[in-house]
Each structure stands twice: as structure tokens, then as C-alpha cells.
A and B are shown apart, each in its own frame.
Chain A
Amino acid sequence: MSQWLKLVARNALRHRLRTSLTVAGLVVAILSFGVLQTIVGAWYAGVDAAVPSRLITRNALSFTLPLPITYENRIRAVDGVKRVSYMNWFGGIYKEPKNFFPQFAIEPASYLDLHPEIYMPAAVRKDFLADRRAAIVGRKLANRYGFKPGDVVQLRGTIFPGDWDFVIAGIFDGRGKTDTSQFFFRWDYLDETLRQRSPTQAGLVGFFIVDAGDLNHVAQVSQAIDALFRNSLAETLTETERAFQIGFVKQTEAILVSIRIVSFVVIAIILAVMANTMAMTARERLSEYATLKALGFSPGYVARLILGESLVIALAGGAVAIALTPPAAARIGEMTDTLFPSLIVSANTVGMQALAAFGVGLLASLLPMRRAASVRIVDGLRAVG
């Protein structure tokens, strides 16, 4: 081990309590930064999971307003459209309002064909398609509430009146960032029941999902669909699934910006703490630095000692924080139930955490380095540690 490295390592461990507290502060800050960034990332999970060739057609006035089911055949006839499916947001309550999870009424066969990222055993799919009251639940949701195939689950409607009973046909899994906290049931069950309970709500869908097939045709197809319904009672807005998801995220942009700001403020605070620690450390060791310079070591060598120590402490804190981020994110995922569909720590977040740790270590050492390197030897030798 080089003399420089030896001095850096031993100096870093010289005041164990101080170093431990500083590292602990760094762990908390960089862990918080990572978790907050992961939460922001989770907000964009739907955006990341979007398939480029899939289009969403919704009511042009608002996505809360429905479209007539009769649009399906006209959309299917548009040049370039390969497949069409549709769905409704249900918004029911499972036992208590706090038990929130996304529920959708879907046209089962076409929806599952259009969403290959949702997969399940063939028998489950078969059961889902065979029984009108059947529902499939994502793995995360099933784990959360202990849903099993054959269970009858009752949801209380908020948009659609009455109690709704569903029979769990099976559990689905998802590839990549697919949200497995969702609950899917059959649109025809919804529609037929509404025809009896609330006829004005029947025959309507929330969104059409359109497979444009060729990516080069996406813009052309979306324009053609919207042109088809221009000047009608329910004009449409067709956009890519990604743009549609971004539209959702945009509604909560202020929250996201706040979370981002908080995550960076946390780093700024720990930078101030770390800078103070390094300034204190360098001040205490001024006579040692002066001694080294008297012996012939350059001001640069002395500066590198401080930089090295600062980086060792910051990167140690960063490494622990990075290691703790995935379990912390998973725990938060459990605590927040289905609020965040996928709290997965991305490589980008890990990179930002490492960069933050490095940045804190570097910036915190700048002033102490400058002071120690520039102090006159005779003044430094007089300094009391």
C-alpha cells in the first residue's frame, strides 16, 4: 500500500465516531436520494412500459368521458389498423376505500393479444375467456390480498352503481415494468349488468387500444382515426400509449418536481455537513500538513490527502446507501401497497447516487484542500490541532 493511501485510510478512521456519524449521514442522504428518485421513476413506469406501436384513442374533451362502443368497427376499418381492443376504468372499492388498486373492464381476448407483456398459464386464460364473471389479478395484487383462483371478490362500484361479484380465474405475471397490481375483468359483464342497472352508462368504453402494426404508420393512423370522428358528438384524441401515459404523469408533475427538489436538497444538506467535517478535520491537522510540506512534500500531495479522505468517507457512505436502496424501495413498495406499481431501483438511479457521493466528497474537500495547500509552513507549524 502506498504511503499516501495508508495515510488516507488511517486518517479517515482516526476519529471513528466522527467518521461513523458522517458516513451515517451520507447513508441516510444518499439512500433518501435514491428512494425518492426511484419513486419518481415508478411514476414513469407506465411510460417506460409503453409499446411504441400501440395507440390509445380517448374522448378528445377528457379521458374521463367515454366513447361509444360503436366506434370499434369504424376504427378497425381505418387503413393501417391491425387490431383493436377497449377498456373501461372501473374505480371500485374492495372492502374499504383505502384498499386502492387499479381495476379495468377489458375485452379479454383482444386485450390480452394486444398486451403480450401480460402472461399467464393457458388454462387461466381459457377460464377467463369462458366465464363472464371471471377476473384475473396481477401477482403483486394477489400477494397483497391473498387472492386465489376460485375466490369470489366483491367490489363496490363508485362510477358504476351496485356491488359487483367476480370469480378469480387466475393470476397473471408481467414482463419488464408491467404493473401486476391490476385487476382485470370482462367488459361484457360490465356492459350487460349496466344495461339492467344503469342503461345510460351501457355501450360506452373509456379507451380504445389500437395496434398500428408498423411504427412508420403510427402518426398516419392516429390522424386518420381522429379525422373519422371530427365534428361528431364524441370527438377522439388518438396518441401513442407513451404520450397517453405521459399525459397522466403530467397531471402530477408538481408533486414530481417537489420530490425531485427534495431529493437534491437532501444532497445539498449532506454536502454542507460533509464540508464542515472536512474543514474541521483539515483545521485540526494543519500542523501535520505543515510538517509534511517542511519535509518536502508538495502542496498538491497535502491536498490529495484531504481529497482522498473526503472521497473515502463519501464513497463509503454512498456504497452502503446504494446497497440499502433496493431493500428500502421494496419495503416502501410493501408499505404503500399498490400505489407504486414497480419500485425498481434503476441503473440510472444507482449511477446518480454514486455520482452524488463522489460529488459530495469532491466538493466538501475543495476549501480545506485549498487552505491546507496554501498555508505557510511556519504558520501551519504554529497551529494547534
Chain B
Amino acid sequence: MTTPRVAAHAARDDVLIALRGVSKGYRRGGQTIPVLTDISFDIRRAEFLALMGPSGSGKSTLLNLIAGLDSADRGSIKVSGEDITRLSESDLADWRAANVGFIFQFYNLMPVLTALENVELPLTLKHLGRRDRRDRAHLALELVGLGDRVRHLPSELSGGQQQRVAIARAIVTDPMLLVADEPTGDLDRQSAEDALAIMQRLNREMGKTIVMVTHDRRAAEHAGAIMHLEKGELSQRVELAHG
């Protein structure tokens, strides 16, 4: 188990996310099937962590718990000192809007909105004027190299471009945490490299904490550390030299 090592390795002030004794199971036909069992580990601020593991190992479930998309059966998940397992649905929604940016495998853009409008979407939850929202969305799209595609609908963009729009949407609210679930799973190699390079820049230059689930070792090697999940338990943590 890596937990004791992690606890020692992360200085307390440096910890952004602290999971303690987290368990999660799913009910199937009257039985509870455990997916995560007593997981405890820390994620440092500005860390780029890749979660790897075979299908069904619980890595996406773990990511969902960290992002506040799902609730744990047991244990606590503290993000920046706040235990998100104690938040109500409504407070959790507000918390996600303020603190988390999402990057999904299939981009999950609104097909009826342009690239700019998609990126602007999370900003409508903030008390910002229209021009301010537009400026920020433009900036985010510039940052991912899509300043010239603002008026395109998702269907008019390639997979790689759509994923970059999704990254722009994830960062436009300047969240402290980015979660990415198989962000390169639907991309060709070049597009995957581009998306990962952007995520690396966000981590290194803007200090974004990123937790990425992937089964692709090549993608995971862009992270600063890799953790493996096996049958609901963390098996090892590997620090990568470039991280």
C-alpha cells in the first residue's frame, strides 16, 4: 500500500485533496459490489496526477468522488480543507462550479452552442457581465489555440479541436482543480499529444492541479505522478522525473 508513503511525502500545507478511508460500492440485484475500499491518499497543490488501472478498477469512480460528482459510502474527501462529502447536492453543485473544471472523454460539448458559447457556459453561473464573459471565453479559446474557431459548432470541429474547446471550458472559470476522464480516449495520437501538452502547460505554467484518469501509459507519462488502482485498492504511486 502506498498510503503511508504518500502521507509522509506530502507536506500538510501542500495538500489540496485529502482522501481518508473512502469506500464506494454499487448495488446490483440486491448485492453491494465494492468498487473502492478504504482509499486514503493526498494530492498536492499544482500536482498533475494520473490514475491508471484496468477496466473496472474503480478509477473513474474515484475521479467522480474527487470531483464531487458522486458520493462516497464511507470516508472523507477534503478539498482545500473542506469536506465535500458533507455538502448538500445544491452546495456541491455550487462548489463544483467554483472549484472544478471537467474534461470528458467524449468532450460533452453542447452541440447547439458555438465553441465560444460552450466555453462561456460555466461563466453564466458567475455574476459577470456579458462582455466580461465573452472576453474570458475568448481568452480561454486563445489559450488552447482555437481563437479562430470561436463561431464554429462542435460538429464543425475535429475531435482534437472539440477536446481543446472542452479544456477551454474547463479552465475558463479559473478552477483550482481540473479532472479529466480518459481525455485522450477518443483522439488520434497527434490530437492526444496536443491536448496533453495543453494540460501540461496548464499544470506547469498556471499551477493547475490536474487529476487524470487514463488507461494509456503514454498519456499518463505527461503527468507528474502515476497512481495505480487494482480491484478498488491503490497499489503503487510512481513519481515521474519530469514532474
Residues of chain A having any CB pair with chain B under 8 Å:
3, 6-7, 10-11, 14, 287-288, 291-299, 376-378, 381
Contacts and interface: CB of A to CB of B under 8 A. Distances in A.
Nearest to B94: A296
B120 A3 contact: yes
Interface stretch (B96-104, B193-201, B215-223): B96-104
Interface stretch (B11-19, B105-113, B233-241): B105-113
Interface string B45-87: 0000000000000000000100101100000000000000000
B115 to A, nearest CB: 14
Contacts of A3: 117, 120-121, 124
Given A295-B97, A296-B93, A296-B96, A381 B121 contact: no
B199 to A, nearest CB: 18
Interface residues of B, number: 25
A299 B97 CA distance: 14
B69 A297 contact: no
A11 B120 contact: no
B125 interface: yes
Nearest to B99: A296
B90 interface: yes
Nearest to A300: B90
The 6 closest A-B pairs by CB, nearest first: A296-B97, A10-B112, A291-B108, A3-B124, A377-B69, A296-B96
Interface of B: 64, 67, 69-70, 89-90, 93-94, 96-98, 102, 104, 108, 110-113, 117, 120-122, 124-125, 169
A23 B143 CA distance: 43
A112 B40 CA distance: 99
B96 A7 contact: no
B213 to A, nearest CB: 13
Nearest to B166: A291
13 contacts: A3-B121, A7-B113, A291-B102, A291-B108, A293-B93, A294-B67, A294-B69, A295-B97, A296-B122, A297-B93, A299-B89, A381-B104, A381-B108
B93 A298 contact: yes
Given A294-B102, A298-B90, A298-B93, A378 B124 contact: no
Contact of B96 (A11, A294, A378): A294
A293 B92 CA distance: 10
Given A3-B124, A14-B112, A295-B102, A377 B94 contact: no
Contact of A7 (B69, B89, B102, B112): B112
B60 to A, nearest CB: 8
B70 A378 contact: yes
A309 to B, nearest CB: 11
B113 A378 contact: no
Contacts of A378: 64, 69-70
Contacts of B70: 376-378
A297 B108 CA distance: 15
Given A294-B102, A295-B122, A287 B94 contact: no
A288 B113 CA distance: 12
Nearest to A11: B112
Given A3-B124, A14-B112, A295 B96 contact: yes
B183 to A, nearest CB: 14
